[in-house]
A and B are shown apart, each in its own frame.
Chain A
Amino acid sequence: MLAYSLKKLLQLVVTTIGVVTLVFFAMRLIPGDAAAAMAGDTLSGAALERLREQMGLNEPLFVQFWNFLRNLLIFDLGRTMTTNLPVSDLIKSAAPITLSIALATIVLAIAIAIPLGTMAAYMAHKGHKTLDNLITGLAMIIALMPSFWTALVFLLIFSLTLGWFPASGAISWDDPYSVMMRLALPILVLSMSQVAILSRMTRTAVLDVLSEDYVRTARAMGWSELRVLFRHALKNAALPIVTVVGLSFGNLLNGTVIVEAIFTIPGIGTVLINGINSRDYQLVQVLMIFYALLFVFINFATDILYRALDPRVKF
């Protein structure tokens, strides 16, 4: 287990370096250069040259790369172009919000989807098709609803009409209750599609496992259905489920961008959209790395969890 974790950690480091390098050079592929792209039509001549100087674009490429790496390591991410705030400060205030939404969504989705999917699988296994069809059918319908649409509908019903949840307002961590109320709808919207995917996946995985020989063995040993279901079936079905949770995290990050915009939440997604709109090259570059690293880390966590669940996993 330790050797495996170390190996995966090493992979994590290698991937991280790869991601950072890729982002750095991808940004240099912009036609003209970054300064010109940032400035658009607003600057010319000497002003543009000054911006280039400021951004260090006149240095040789490898020096730029070196500075870029060094700055990342000491968390000096530069300043935004429009507001001239340190990018690091921006991330420090926005990241916890987005991460809270993502984490809460995953937890909520798992808490609903796994029992639901297991129940559907068990019903199908026992030949009670009606309940199984009901659950899987409902999951299908929910999965078909795009989250930008559900977000608008929920906003309309629960915030604007019923007034149960605030539709706007600042997020202050000193008041946890208000944060909860503020983030409740986005989390709900995002978790709906996650529940749909995850419950269907759980159903398939558990149904497969229930017809395995070792489940029959457990029954023949006289274990109760509940124990068979949780100790044997679900534990074995957990492997594909973990994979799907890990993968759908990327999907979820996409979702946060849209949902944050609709519910006007100052998370990473909002920062990203603002950055793109104002052609803030420095900011977008940092956010790209932020998303990529988050994803790499989730993959790392999935791998470790996978191994912990299944001792057969070697690579």
Chain B
Amino acid sequence: MIHQGNIPVPLLDVRNLRTEFETDSGTVRAVDDASFAIMPGERIAVVGESGSGKSAMAMSILRLLVYPGRVVGGDVLLDGTNLAQLGEKQLNALRGRTVGTVFQDPMSSLDPVMRVSKQMVAPIMRNLGMSYKDAYAEAVDWLRKVGIPDPERRITAFPFEMSGGMRQRVMIAMALSCRPKLLIADEPTTALDVTIQAQIVEIMKTLTTQANTAMLFITHDLGLVARLADKVAVMYAGRIVEFGTVAKIFGAPCHPYTQSLLRTIPSPTALHPARLPQIPGLPPDMKQGIQGCAFRERCAAATEQCGRDTPKLTDRGVNHLAACWQPEGLAGIAQEAAPRPELRRNDSPFRDRVIVEINNLNKHFISSAFLSRAKRTVVRAVNGVNLRVRQGETLGVVGESGCGKSTLARLLLGLEHPTSGEIFTEGLTQMVFQDPASSFNPKMRIRSIIEEPLIVKRKGDWASRQARVEKLIDLVGLKLNHLDRFPSQLSGGQLQRVAVARALALEPSVVVADEPTSALDVSVRAQIINLLADLKQELGVAFIFISHDLLTVRYISDRIAVMYLGEVVEYGPADLVFNSPAHPYTRALIDAVPIPDPVKEARRSSAVLQGELPSPLDEIHGCAFATRCPQANQRCRDEKPKLRQHQKSREAACHYAK
């Protein structure tokens, strides 16, 4: 650590940073009066919902914002130099050299037409003054450090020849190869599968610790914060509302927003989770100037003062600051303020009738390109799947990307024809998609969107359709005046409610929801999950809930099916599967999920599932998971385990399942 006298000097000292975006409908103050410091080697997490200004703040530090965003005030001291006074050329000397950056989407963050070698070697040559040969060797070395197998060969690849996880490794290698003192990581693992995320987090943790690199990482995943950070800055509507050590933020949060945020996450341990607590309302419209505390409209503890004056960050103990007029935020009143109806499972009045039955379902995609040297290949997207869904039941389907869960959804909806096998469904099947914003026609009003399935199926006359639409919009918790708006005028959470209303229009018996909450913010996600749970209870609709978010799936599902490479490897009651997984893959998946509790995170082993999903093109003889399974032996590689009954109510496909 750098010392000046006896006082440690921060590596990065941000003071009163203000950033604005000029839009047609007014100026948005994306970052307002943000101040914080990072010590050398320290890891700071910035959490907040989309639009809270966390990315804008990170980009403002190196002034990487592009038009219409610009930094309008404040100082940024890096190693004692005030970046606010530097010109573009001097800033360029620091970018990549003193501060490395990793971005969210590995699929688009690397130049698609440039080989990895070229993208990596040039910065090393420039920043470390190395010859091409040395820089190349250095680049290969870094690829090895971030866990890329066969780096000598892989370095000559183009980004499109690598998986998302591999590309993010390249990004990290690129950012760290110039030995920066600070690494800025903007949602570095959000686009990745949970097992790959665990690997990447482990690599970032190890490498930054080794080189004493400080880290500023932006995330919406509180579990990740607990796993990785020393300190946390919580942002809301452009302001840092709470700042403190991980222990303080998770143990004794002061700001009502932080407190509610922590409560909205499904607990990984509770046996019979209650109805998920949710934050009412929506984040404020940043285009209107915000007077007073931005959170007050969603806050149960708000007083008159909150509407008048904007609270500043004040000390709440050692290393702990919060911006709230209440001395302890919501802590005292929270329980009474939100009485929660208990959501009981397994007592639905419907239950026993099986309404979806899938028997030995197969979907194989065959590719053979004309005049291509490649052999004819078969991708077994869905391979011998057997599942049953009962009335009013939620079946959660989990697995990494490429495991066949979306193909399964398409088969259920009849969008694909099975190669072999059967699907029996009683009644209609409808769908809720992942991204509400892009699954609606932007030129149609909400009323027409919900009405459309009724028109297609010629249900009722105009008056009865309108009545049905109005009933549906009420059912999903929206107001009648939402009906005459366009999709662009609604928030993501509201749109997802509309999607649910549309799916329910024809009174289906089954709704297939493909990642319905993954595009939503944490505080809104809880609202949608509760809505789905309520509808299940009220209407007796069965849900097939497809997601990679294990905590959510566990919360909402009665039963869970775990898929790996097109096959169901474990199937059983949600709590049982989660609490005592029988298949090693299920166990690995659960272990990879970061828990939003720093104490538990610290106690967990850092053993992570190695490797990636094998190519679905490979011919597999034994157990598909054998290549990554820590317990695999010769039998697993030779003999394919069948899905068989385990204990009373659970099935698993493993020779050694206990």
Contact = CB atoms under 8 A, between A and B. Distances in A.
Contacts of B110: 214, 217
A172 B68 CA distance: 57
B64 A235 contact: no
19 contacts: A7-B371, A10-B371, A125-B66, A212-B108, A213-B108, A214-B111, A217-B101, A217-B110, A217-B111, A217-B171, A219-B64, A219-B95, A220-B95, A220-B96, A220-B101, A221-B174, A222-B97, A222-B126, A223-B96
B113 A220 contact: no
Interface string A200-238: 000000000011111011111111110000011001100
A211 B64 CA distance: 12
A209 to B, nearest CB: 10
Interface in A117-173: 125-127
A309 B112 CA distance: 10
Could you say which interface size class chain A belongs to?
20 to 34
A219 B92 CA distance: 8
B64 A216 contact: yes
Contacts of A232: 111, 114
B109 A217 contact: yes
Interface string A45-89: 000000000000000000000000000000000000000000000
Interface in A272-315: 309-312
Nearest to B160: A312
A34 B471 CA distance: 74
A233 B111 CA distance: 9
Interface in A234-253: 235-236
A3 B89 CA distance: 45
Interface residues of B, number: 34
A236 B373 contact: no
B96 A222 contact: yes
B618 interface: no
A219, A222, A235, A236, most chain B CB atoms within 10 A: A222
Contacts of A235: 111, 113-114
A127 B158 CA distance: 33
Nearest to B106: A213
Contacts of B68: 127
A222 B112 contact: no
Contacts of B160: 311-312
Given A222-B97, A223-B92, 9 more contacts: A214-B110, A217-B110, A220-B103, A221-B101, A222-B92, A310-B112, A311-B158, A312-B113, A312-B160
A221 B96 contact: yes
A232 B108 CA distance: 13
Contact of B113 (A127, A219, A223, A236): A236
B112 A236 contact: yes
A10 B123 CA distance: 42
A224 B89 CA distance: 8
Contacts of A126: 66-67
B105 A213 contact: yes
B92 A311 contact: no
Contacts of A223: 92, 96
B109 A222 contact: no
Interface in B104-124: 105, 108-114, 123
B77 interface: no
A221 B123 contact: yes
B379 interface: no
Given A213-B105, A217-B101, A220-B62, A312 B88 contact: no
Interface string B152-178: 000000101000000000010010000
A312 B89 CA distance: 34
A231 B114 CA distance: 9
B103 A217 contact: yes
A217 B94 CA distance: 14
Interface string B353-389: 0000000000000000001010000000000000000
Nearest to B159: A214
B282 interface: no
A220 B66 CA distance: 12
Given A217-B103, A220-B96, A310 B113 contact: yes
The 8 residue pairs across chains A and B that have the minimum distance between CB atoms: A222-B95, A127-B67, A222-B96, A221-B96, A220-B101, A213-B108, A213-B109, A214-B111
B27 to A, nearest CB: 14
